[in-house]
Amino acid sequence: MPELNALLFDVDGTLADTERDGHRPAFNAAFQEAGLDWDWSVELYGDLLSVTGGKERIKYYLDRHNRGFKRPDNFDEFVAGLHKAKTRHYTRMMAEGAIPLRPGVERLLREARAAGLILGIATTTTPENVEVLLTHTLGKDSLNWFAVIAAGDVVPAKKPAPDIYLYAMEKLGLNPAVCFAFEDSQNGILSTRQAGLTTLITINDYTRDHDFTGAALVVDQMGEPGRPFKVLAGEARGAKLVDVSLVKTLHKEGARLAATA
């Protein structure tokens, strides 16, 4: 039975609830600054989240929700410019402490480090966004907690493609049988499953109705002492929060399932 070596974390929706009050208003601020009358409501953004990656999301919005917009000749540059402005707004907001980590995340990260597990990140978001979130919630040194931060355009095919997880594992020199992933969305679990990873899901308001087929466990949050998680699918074996012991148990079972599949 391969032993658990590494935990791989998604960022948006998993480490922090960044989409509704972080990414969404940052997109809107960029649109306003560019003189566009586009305004992404909380509800519309739920549909836009079906596409990962900010530049990809802007294009999807125009294809699906704003077909009347006359695209400039240098369309890709135009989108890249809007996205650059969005990243500037987002990193400023996060540096002001706009969004905390989700419950139980810091506890689990610290516990995993103490247990000698390797930590990694696999996200579609822009690297600067990951850095600002980590440094403003866990301190500057926390960037060193992660042996790999795989983010953004480093792979061309974003989630649900498995590429970002495969890239992270390649950088770590580890195979999926010794890793365990944390996600919050359907695109996330499609990505981890294709990468061969056992996965725990913490849902959020945007993802609670997603299809999490193949997850080892689906809970509402990681949980803290005195603030237990709610189990939405799977078997938590009496655990009340996500800790290293539960992850090791789920990993063992995930590894066994993979071996007999």
Instruction: Respond yes or no: is residue 209 known to be catalytic.
Output: no
Q: Is there binding between residue 17 and Mg ion (CB under 5 A)?
A: no
Residue placing its CB nearer to ligand XBP in the complex, 26 or 177: 26
By CB under 6 A, tell whether 192 contacts ligand XBP. Answer: no
Q: How far apart (Å, rounded) are the C-alpha atoms in residues 66 and 38?
A: 9
Distance (Å, rounded) from C-alpha 93 to C-alpha 61?
23
Task: Pick out residues in 149-188 that bind Mg ion (CB under 5 A).
Answer: 184-185
For residue 247, give the 3-state DSSP assignment: helix
The yes or no reply on residue 19 touching Mg ion (CB under 5 A) is no
Residue 163 near ligand XBP by CB under 6 A: no
CB of 237 to Mg ion, least distance (A): 25
Interface with Mg ion, residue 54, by CB under 5 A? no
Q: Does 23 bind ligand XBP (CB under 6 A)?
A: yes
- The end-to-end CA distance of the chain, in Å, is 15
DSSP state for residue 182 in the 8-state scheme:
E
Nearest residue (CB) to Mg ion, 10 versus 163 = 10
State the nearest-atom distance from the C-beta of 183 to Mg ion, in Å: 6
Nearer to ligand XBP, 79 or 239 (CB): 79
Which phi and psi angles does 218 have, rounded to 5°? -120, 120
Select from 159, 193, 210, 251 the one that contacts ligand XBP (CB under 6 A): 159
Q: Which does 193 bind (CB under 5 to 8 A by kind): ligand XBP, Mg ion, none?
A: none
Catalytic (active site) residue 39: no
d(C-alpha 143, C-alpha 76), whole Å: 31
- Interaction residues for ligand XBP, span 47-76 (CB under 6 A): 52-54
Compute the distance between CA of residue 4 and CA of residue 74 in angstroms, rounded to an integer.
Answer: 48
Residue 19 within binding range of ligand XBP, rule CB under 6 A: yes
Closest CA relative to residue 28, chosen from 19, 41, 18, 16 = 41
Does 129 sit near ligand XBP (CB under 6 A)? yes
C-alpha to C-alpha distance for 59 and 1, rounded to whole angstroms? 45
Should residue 204 be labelled a site residue for ligand XBP when binding is judged by CB under 6 A? no
Please tell me which residue in 10, 163, 184, 243 is annotated as part of the active site. Answer: 10
Question: Token pair of 40, please?
Answer: 């992404």
Our CA angle for 233, 1, 211, nearest 5°, is 20
Residue at 151: amino acid letter: A
DSSP 216: S
| Shortest distance in whole angstroms from residue 57 CB to ligand XBP | 6
* Cα–Cα nearest to 98, from 142, 132, 146: 132
**Which residue numbers are catalytic?**
10, 12
Q: Which residues bind ligand XBP (CB under 6 A)?
A: 10-13, 19, 23, 52-54, 86-87, 123-126, 129, 159, 185, 187-188
Q: Which residues bind Mg ion (CB under 5 A)?
A: 10, 12-13, 184-185
